[in-house]
Amino acid sequence: MSSEEVTIYHNPKCSKSRETLARLRQRGIEPRIIEYLDTPPTAEEIATLAGILGLPLSELVRDKEYRELGLPENADDSSLRSLMAENPRVIQRPIVLCGGRGVIARPPDRVDEILS
C-alpha cells in the first residue's frame, strides 16, 4: 500500500491520534498527515469527510469541546459544517482515509477496518 492512499487528520497532542499514526507506521504506511488544527478543513471538506465516513455531521463533533466553546445547540447541517471549519478543535480525531473509505480511529485499532 502506498502512502498516497492513506491520509490522517491528526492532532499531535492527542494520544489516540499519536497511537493511530504509530499503528499506521508499524504497518509500513507513511500517511499524508493533515494537522487539522493548523490547516482546518473547509465546510465543504467536512461535508465530504462525513460522506466518506458514512456518518451524520453530529458524529464528527466532540461534544465536550463544542459545549465548552458555547456553540449553538441544534445547529442545522450547513451551520454545523461552518462551525466545525471555524472551530476545528470540535472535530473528532483522528480521521483516517484510505481508498475512498474512512474511519474515526477511536480506538486506534479501528484503522484496521479500512486497511484490510
Catalytic site positions: 14
- What nine digits make up the cell of 112? 484496521
The total of other beta-carbon atoms located within 10 Å of residue 65's CB is: 15
Cα–Cα dist 6/9, whole Å: 10
First to last CA, the chain: 10
Please classify residue 103 by burial: count the beta carbons closer than 10 Å to its beta carbon, then call 0-12 exposed, 13-18 middle and 19+ buried: buried
Q: What values do phi and psi take at 33, rounded to 5?
A: -105, 125
